[in-house]
Amino acid sequence: MTTYSAVVTTGIYCRPGCGARPRAENVRTFELAAAAEAAGFRACLRCRPYRIAGELPWDAPELVCRAVQLIIGGALDEGTEADLGRRLGMSSRHLRRLFHEHLGVTPDQFARSRRAHFARRMLDDTDLTVADVAFASGFGSLRQFNRTMREVFRATPQALRERRRRADRLTADGGLGLRLPVEPPYDWDATLAFLAGGAIPGVEAVDGGTYRRTITLDGGPGLLEIWRGGHDHLLLRAHLPYWEGLIHVVERVRRMLGLDVDFAATGHLAGDPIVGPLLKERPGLRVPGAWGPFEAGVAAIARQHHDTAGARELLGRLARDHGPVVPGLDGGLDRVFPAAEVVASAAGVPDPVRRFAAAVGAGEIRLDGTDDLAGLVASLTAIPGIGDAAAHHLAMRLGERDAFPAGDPALVAALGPDAVAVAQAWRPWRALAATHLLADELPRPL
């Protein structure tokens, strides 16, 4: 867990490792940068804490974690705290109380800080205009953007851009280049191998050390390219029809790659006789996420009924026959994965996939983080042809940290028939334990 140190005599907060050496009696600590900002502190110009993504406190309630994921997904871009509370079945007052108690900020303050930090990185790394940065970061107007940046960073966006360092600006041959900061260690080779093993023909491809995939952004086609940048960051090149809402594209990429790790999980599991040695051998292995929840769900169902080659063939056929065409791309990428409504009414789709697509399209199954793990698994397994293991595999890729596909043959082979009982000691981080137990087929990092 990252702990930020704020100095009351200077009004500045820093991340761990900063060279500043204040007197201990002048220091306050915060678990979130947003909480330090809400208390009136501004980011250090030396260590630039806004460039590192912080994690939530490990003991935050599940409802708070779920609300944070909805905020990251854009729930407060146009909606209100009251709207968010209704989605989670509580009042806005109770939601604010939970946030203040466990995070030190309100939901609105958390969302504001997140947008401001993303905008600051955009001002550093790119040459987009200030207006483009504002809308790419999720702000509704330039007035709101300018006011927030002054409140958080005590300077105008233009002044912040003038302060950027020579090495900050990223040049890209077409597209927009962005850094994806990550707390090391991070096993990019294992992540790349996982993505390559499940790459959907026509939609995804791995070429050398670069992962590429097609996407749609509000109906417009785009392309993402990701590769290793350094020990503490990856590089993303985004080719998009417009930059509004870019912050959500970047957050989805971070979830897909498992970049936001909770190091409390590794501490909890390190002493376990089964999982501990695996963590020590591969400390940078992360739980892989997914770009598209529906796409990941179809993949989980396909792998329940087919081997890897058969599942890829089915997914590729769905994309080829029913996915929108993306013209002008090389490397065999010419489709985006079809939407649930399209798959539900398409011919030649296996019954479990069709039923799943129909339920998602009708809103009977919600893949946006609104439902908890038990509710998600129950709604999935109620569909004939979707087993508990497939449901938990999908839940893992959607970020449910306690998901555990106990019926997966590889886990049964590793743990025996009492896999569920054995895994009780790993709660609430069974997803990370499962990832390590299932990772034998992945190559070791270079």
Which residues form the catalytic set?
14, 408
Contact assessment for residue 407 and residue 388, using Cβ atoms and an 8 Å cutoff: yes
Tell me phi and psi for residue 100, to 5 degrees.
Answer: -65, -40
Asked if 190 contacts 257 with a C-beta cutoff of 8 angstroms, the reply is: no
Place of tokens 């030190």: 104
Tokens of 188: 């990019």
Report the C-alpha gap between 236 and 224 in whole angstroms: 7
* Cα–Cα distance for residue pair 345/341, rounded to 1 Å: 7
Torsion of CA 403, 404, 408, 411, to 10 degrees: 150
Matching residue, tokens 């909805």 = 70
Question: How far is residue 44's CA from residue 28's CA, in Å, rounded to a whole number?
Answer: 14
Query: Which tokens belong to 169?
Result: 């600006």
Burial of 391 (0-12, 13-18, 19+ CB in 10 A): buried
